[in-house]
Structure 1
Amino acid sequence: MTTALPDSVFGTFDTGDTAWVMISAALVLLMTPALAFFYGGLCRGKAVLNMMMMSFIALASVTVVYVLFGFSMSFGDSLTGTGDIGGVFSNPFALWGSDQLMATREVDGVTQVVMWGDTGIPAIVFLAFQLTFAVITVALISGAIAERAKFSTWVVFTVFFTVLVYLPLAHMVWGGGLLSGSENGFAAWIFGTTDGAATVEPIDFAGGTVVHINAGMAALVLALVVGKRLSFGRTTHRPHNIPFVMLGAALLWFGWFGFNAGSELGADATTGLVWVNTTAATAAAIVGWLAIEWWRDGHPTSVGAASGIVAGLVAITPACGALTPVGSLGLGVVAGALSALAIGLKTKLGFDDSLDVVGVHLVSGLWGTVGIGLLAKESGLFYGHDPKQLVVQIVIALVALVYTGVLTTVIAFALKPLGWRVDREEEATGIDSAEHAETAYELA
């Protein structure tokens, strides 16, 4: 049952800010096809179509869920004022189908629309922007189970993960829930409040917890539940199309400006700072990754440079509004080095994270989230402040890890009757032909 919106949510939008957020939403939407190219190139040629389709179907299924009730579940309370459920999620039916967001009213001859908080953008535009975050988060997970998972089971997983994991976590961090800076959040319970807000607020500017720790932890769970590829540990799995990988990384970097700078929800000086920080951290991460490769393997590689791009983007995502450009360089170079070292752990620990979602997104997502407590100019330990911010950042990272880990495990085992794996012969001959009756390349 939908809920009527109070008069207080109506207002007149700022055309410049609205245009910027719409452009940003389009940039973030581009990131999912970009991810398809990045992941597709990293796969073997007999699995590239299936890998790309896993991203494209996430775009479809998550969008349907988000338009019907996903936005309401994450952000409905902020508009309706009806209260959330335990600080974990809002009423999924309060804004069912989002038709209420198109309501208008006339005040002194001026048409007012439903606005998102005290920003200058309409709520329907904020919905469009947030929808793209939900899509890319789910698509990211697919890289951990490349070349062996049933497409049908993956489709069902995208829906359950969105509803049970992503939407509540987005509410907890961004929608005024337990991990936000609201007076009902955990930081307020620990350190107290001032004027209705926590004295030390958790910082996740654009999705370190909600997107990257979330996707990375889910990827680890699925890699363990689904199991290893048949040839894991016996055959070297080389990328079949490195130009695809480089193209995907370039498009991800381009789209990430919408991801990070768009999260300011306006075109202002902070938006400019975020743009510079995003570029600085990403460039430094390439250096960090290639330095490790050069030292460890003797050669800097194209795939390493592309992976460094992603590691830097992941790390700066939560921190991009809180750091200086120099601090962003430091965050980025450490992220690139850490992720370059981390990707080797899957062989030592014996789990098959096919495309290094854990090594890149989980590791750099954790570093970026926790690194805020060290490098944030206004509250970081390295700038002479007390450790409160660091404590808060560690707690939100741990809560995200545990929440996603537990819920994804439940979902993964609940879907086992559907079957996670294609059969051995289909995996050996190629999942593209088995699952989609297609091949990427027709070779004489």
Structure 2
Amino acid sequence: MAAGFLTLAADTPKFDSGSTAFMLLSAALVLIMTPGLAFFYGGMVRVKSVLNMLMMSFIAIGIVTILWTLYGFTLAFHTGSAFIGDFSWFGMRNIGIAELWPGYTIPIYVFAVFQLMFAIITPALISGALADRVKFTAWSLFIALWVTIVYFPVAHMVWGSDGFLYTHGVIDFAGGTAVHINAGAAALGVILVIRKRVGFKKDPFRPHSLPLVMLGAGLLWFGWFGFNAGSWLASDGVAAVAFTNTQVATAAAMLGWLAYEKIKHGSFTTLGAASGAVAGLVAITPSCGSVSPLGAIAVGAVAGVGCAAAVGLKYKFGFDDSLDVVGVHMVGGIIGSLLIGFLATGGVGQTAKGVFYGGGFTQLWKQFLGVGVVLFYSLIVSAILAFVIDKTMGFTVTEDVEVAGIDQAEHAETGYDFAGVGSAARAVLSSLDGTSDTKKVDA
């Protein structure tokens, strides 16, 4: 994220219609990432869970939008303390319609709506770790509490002009710490508290629709150009480099993931291609304004291989991360954030240089600080929130409901109409659902 209150030129910035239009388009691109994420996650779950997975992302749009308008934007981005803003902009009041974001050429309202889309997708990312087993009401409450207690303060610390991590020189161009490590650590905190899925480590939990996964990955890739390039808050050469680095790193990560799984498992899978692309997008997010395109190749390749290796840790350590949010988003965010300390050129959107460009270890230690603070704060607070919800209203559905189908129980709907489907096709769908009884599919 371009620094919130940093003036880049000697003259007072003036309104720029080109940058404003670019930022509004970027905001729309970031919004489409949440439905894209819903499809990506939805394709990876079983037939009986697809609607619930979609709704876990879509409900974030509704809840976070209202909270952001009421108090989220002011707490995240108005000056206040090192850890949280104040209520000067409560309800989006005291903001002039033509008032510019300090140091930039776009209106405050444009910056606010762009940042809203970041706030929406961050809790939605967490949902993938909880697939198949959480109550929709509990999840909705968790979103409201989590963005208030975790996301808004973290965004302020990372991007606010008086934020703790910002003032300590931590670089996070577009959300490696504030979005991805934040969401990944939160996911880990929650799944360490709630129960595991029925059949974890025993049943295959195969994706029910790989085409849906690929569609979702494509929408994420498309929207991510707004996510990263838009974070410079202007349409110029730095935004173009961030755009280029996003494409380059994503391609490198996809190839790295595929190479790893071919060596490890003997196949190039569509799920691996989609997951590798997302890993690359995650890793380049904090660093796209600091590295060169050659550096972006390195970021992507390391993330592709590193995240592919990390997704198997859940079986080794026994935590049930349903759709590998920890392995992709937390690990990918850590990789991208720390590589800034090695690969920052000092010549893109930041002046800091990494180890490989003569900057020594100074920036690397700053990046470690940012990673550590966000990871531990989000992990601990998220676990506490999950524990309180689980002990009061219950975070998960019963095991019987999970086995029968969470879509029907939580939403009174099913994702697909199996009426009139032949017995052979019904058997295939039943196997995708992880059941042996075709009657369970109708349920």
Q: TM-score, normalised by structure 2?
A: 0.89
Matched, 1:218 2:186: yes
Alignment match, 1:26: 28
Deviations 1:90-124 (A, max 9, x none): 11x311110322x35xxxxxxxx211011110000
Distance 1:179-1:336 versus aligned 2 partners, 3 A rule: farther
Alignment match, 1:7: none
Equivalent positions of 1:402-421 (< 5 A) are 402-416=376-390, 417-421=392-396
CA distance in 2, matches of 1:377, 1:135: 31
Equivalent positions of 1:265-344 (< 5 A) are 265-344=233-312
Candidates 93, 100, 119, aligned match of 1:134? 119
Equivalent positions of 1:87-166 (< 5 A) are 87-91=82-86, 93-101=87-95, 103=96, 113-166=98-151
Please say if residues 285 and 311 of structure 1, whose CA atoms lie closer than 8 Å, have aligned partners that are also in contact.
yes
Please say if residues 179 and 202 of structure 1, whose CA atoms lie closer than 8 Å, have aligned partners that are also in contact.
no
Displacement after TM superposition at 1:164 (Å): 0.3
Displacement after TM superposition at 1:12 (Å): 4.6
Runs of 4+ in structure 1 displaced over 3 angstroms?
Answer: 177-181
Candidates 199, 219, 228, aligned match of 1:251? 219
Alignment match, 1:173: 158
Letter in 1 for 2:153: P
Please say if residues 83 and 164 of structure 2, whose CA atoms lie closer than 8 Å, have aligned partners that are also in contact.
no
Displacement after TM superposition at 1:173 (Å): 0.7
Alignment match, 2:412: 437
Displacement after TM superposition at 1:11 (Å): 7.5
Matched, 1:399 2:393: no
CA distance in 2, matches of 1:28, 1:205: 15
Distance 1:415-1:177 versus aligned 2 partners, 3 A rule: farther
Distance 1:180-1:14 versus aligned 2 partners, 3 A rule: farther
Displacement after TM superposition at 1:415 (Å): 1.0
CA distance in 2, matches of 1:288, 1:246: 17
Displacement after TM superposition at 1:438 (Å): 0.3
Letter in 1 for 2:366: V
Please say if residues 88 and 94 of structure 2, whose CA atoms lie closer than 8 Å, have aligned partners that are also in contact.
no
Deviations 1:319-369 (A, max 9, x none): 000000000000100100001001111011111100000000000100000
Letter in 1 for 2:137: S
Matched, 1:207 2:175: yes
CA distance in 2, matches of 1:11, 1:261: 20
Candidates 329, 332, 335, aligned match of 1:361? 329
Displacement after TM superposition at 1:413 (Å): 1.4
Please say if residues 13 and 103 of structure 2, whose CA atoms lie closer than 8 Å, have aligned partners that are also in contact.
no
CA distance in 1, matches of 2:162, 2:323: 33
Question: SS of 1:319's equivalent?
Answer: coil
Displacement after TM superposition at 1:424 (Å): 1.3
Please say if residues 284 and 296 of structure 2, whose CA atoms lie closer than 8 Å, have aligned partners that are also in contact.
yes
Q: TM-score, normalised by structure 1?
A: 0.89
Stretch moving more, 11-20 or 274-283:
11-20
Root mean square deviation of aligned Cα:
1.1
Question: SS of 2:94's equivalent?
Answer: helix
Alignment match, 1:380: 354
Displacement after TM superposition at 1:425 (Å): 1.0
Letter in 2 for 1:60: G
Please say if residues 78 and 89 of structure 2, whose CA atoms lie closer than 8 Å, have aligned partners that are also in contact.
yes
Please say if residues 11 and 114 of structure 1, whose CA atoms lie closer than 8 Å, have aligned partners that are also in contact.
no
Structure 1, unaligned stretches of length 5 or more?
A: 1-9, 78-83, 105-112, 188-200
Deviations 1:272-312 (A, max 9, x none): 10011000000000011001100011001000000001000
CA distance in 2, matches of 1:11, 1:254: 30
Please say if residues 148 and 421 of structure 1, whose CA atoms lie closer than 8 Å, have aligned partners that are also in contact.
yes
Letter in 2 for 1:392: K
Matched, 1:426 2:401: yes
CA distance in 1, matches of 2:101, 2:381: 30
Please say if residues 50 and 407 of structure 2, whose CA atoms lie closer than 8 Å, have aligned partners that are also in contact.
yes
Matched, 1:232 2:200: yes
Q: How many aligned positions are there? A: 401
Question: SS of 1:46's equivalent?
Answer: helix
Question: SS of 1:139's equivalent?
Answer: helix
Matched, 1:42 2:54: no
Deviations 1:225-278 (A, max 9, x none): 112101111110100000000000000000000000000101000011001100
Structure 2, unaligned stretches of length 5 or more?
A: 1-11, 347-352, 420-443
Letter in 1 for 2:88: A
CA distance in 1, matches of 2:121, 2:240: 24
